[in-house]
Structure 1
Amino acid sequence: MTKNSVSALFTRLTAVTLIGMSVSACGVFQRLADIGKTPELSAIQNPTQADNYRPVSMPMPTPVTASRQANSLWVEGSRAFFEDQRASQVGDIITVVVEISDQAAIDNRTRHDRSNTNSMGISGLFGYEDLLTEVLPEGADAGSLVGTTSGLANDGRGRIDRNETINLRLAAVVTQQLPNGNMVLFGRQEVRVNFEVREIVVGGVIRPEDIASDNTVSYDEMAEARIAYGGRGQISDLQQQRYGSQALEILMPF
């Protein structure tokens, strides 16, 4: 590496460090200003107007023209003669039921041992084997000219033991209705307890046929389901590694 390249690399690292320190300083000042204050809740807003909102686009089947019968009170798609109270259009609210009980235990072990020994010598070479000592170093034995020994041992083990249980119900809003009738849901809930805010986010695509009579849908019937459960506040802040330690773990090569 040339002197110029080393200088350029040092300059880049210095710039990244200064930027990180400035961003961290802004966060420190904000945290100092928020001492003694409860975390603020986010304002209720239209999810489709968020900066990171993107309409869902998925492969659609060939549109089918619905047949209509004159002088009929029956509405196609309804499960009852009277009006269906379940969510059916953009803006309707539906309850998502999340019941996750996940348990996994994996224990794998691989062991590989190998030992190899090779030897070669010339005990007789037409009577001229003694002349080899004049060519080879002093003390060489023609009967054991070459000897090799090799050994290999590999022992690897991996173990996973996980147990997760989540039970919750969250009201979501129909944000989009796809051409084939499927609906896109998005729901968010924030609960503040003392100095800690718990956030729950649910989103995905459901079929109208999977909506139960009580206007609920199970999470395992949602396609492209996105479920997030987390928080922010004093407790979450204590569980996070300091910014300096995170930066060192990223930059340090060893």
Structure 2
Amino acid sequence: MTVRIGTIAAMAALAACGQLEEVGKTPALTQPSGGNEHFAMTAGAVPGQRAVPQNSPSLWTGGRTSLLGDRRAAQRGDIMTVVIEIDESAQINNRSQRGRSGSQSAGVGSLMGLETVIEDILPGDGSLADAVELNSESDFSGSGSIRRAEKLTLRVAATVLEVMPNGALRIEGTQEVRVNNEVRVLLVSGFVRPGDVTRQNEITYDKIASARISYGGRGHITAMQAPRYGQQVADVILPF
């Protein structure tokens, strides 16, 4: 019995090793580099994108610092404003029910006269008329419900880190605000098309491909809201 309990505990500990690495850490975001969208951006040009000659004749100078120049972020090191306005809600209800029953019976009516001999051998009133009879029945019922609501309104400056071969821009922006002993951290990254950047040099979050948005914090309040490390370890290891 002791060996069996020890084996179960060892198996539970091995299964929890991967989760123990996340104790005391925030969930990691998936890196967009190397994904399908990143591969598509490096493979070819974005439809509708054309290079504009820099020295084309014009009555006005085409410089970015001129009165009519395009001052939207387009080069590495440029800065744009990302507008995050998330107001979403979802409600899902699901219920399923399943039932099945079956019955099988088989008998030996005639077996070259041997059925009479066998019935004489069977105890009591045994008979081969109903030699085999099987019955089965199963029933299943399940239900689930999800209800979620999110609302977030933020603005953050993001920097162009790289101009992709197809003209798309890889951006990333971070922002930290400290109030007393609490730091609120905002992170946004992804890929944008230059044509989606408005004349005000802004872009909304729903136009960012492979968007990664993180809004959290660190400090006394966050530490008080999180379970202690010992409790997190116990929740991972204990099987019951």
Q: State the TM-score, normalized to the length of structure 1.
A: 0.65
CA distance in 1, matches of 2:219, 2:137: 55
User: Does the alignment pair 1:61 with 2:44?
Assistant: yes
Amino acid at match of 2:103: T
Give the alignment partner of residue 227 of structure 1, picking from 213, 218, 236. Answer: 213
Aligned length: 213
Q: Which residue of 2 aligns with 1:30?
A: none
SS at match of 1:209: helix
Q: Is the 8 A contact 2:106 2:131 kept in 1?
A: yes
Residue deviations 1:117-173, cap 9 Å, x none? 223344676776453244435553444332221101111223222211111111112
Residue deviations 1:221-252, cap 9 Å, x none? 11221111112223333343443444444445
Amino acid at match of 1:172: A
Residues 1:191 and 1:65: Cα distance change in structure 2 (over 3 Å): closer
Q: Which residue of 2 aligns with 1:115?
A: 101
Stretches of structure 1 lacking an aligned partner (at least 5 in a row):
28-51
Amino acid at match of 1:82: L
Q: Which residue of 1 aligns with 2:28?
A: none
| Structure 1 position 202, deviation (Å) | 0.7
Residues 1:227 and 1:65: Cα distance change in structure 2 (over 3 Å): closer
Q: Determine what percentage of the aligned residue pairs are the same residue.
A: 36
Q: Which residue of 1 aligns with 2:87?
A: 101
Residue deviations 1:49-82, cap 9 Å, x none? xxx9979774253697754335764439x7x962
SS at match of 1:238: helix
Give the alignment partner of residue 146 of structure 1, picking from 132, 141, 161. Answer: 132
CA distance in 2, matches of 1:223, 1:184: 9
Give the alignment partner of residue 215 of structure 1, picking from 192, 196, 201. Answer: 201
CA distance in 2, matches of 1:109, 1:143: 44
Mapping 1:12-91, distance limit 5 Å? 58-61=41-44, 66-67=52-53, 68-69=55-56, 73-75=60-62, 82-91=68-77
SS at match of 2:42: coil
Residues 1:168 and 1:128: Cα distance change in structure 2 (over 3 Å): same
Let me know the Cα RMSD of the aligned residues. Answer: 4.0
Stretches of structure 2 lacking an aligned partner (at least 5 in a row):
25-30
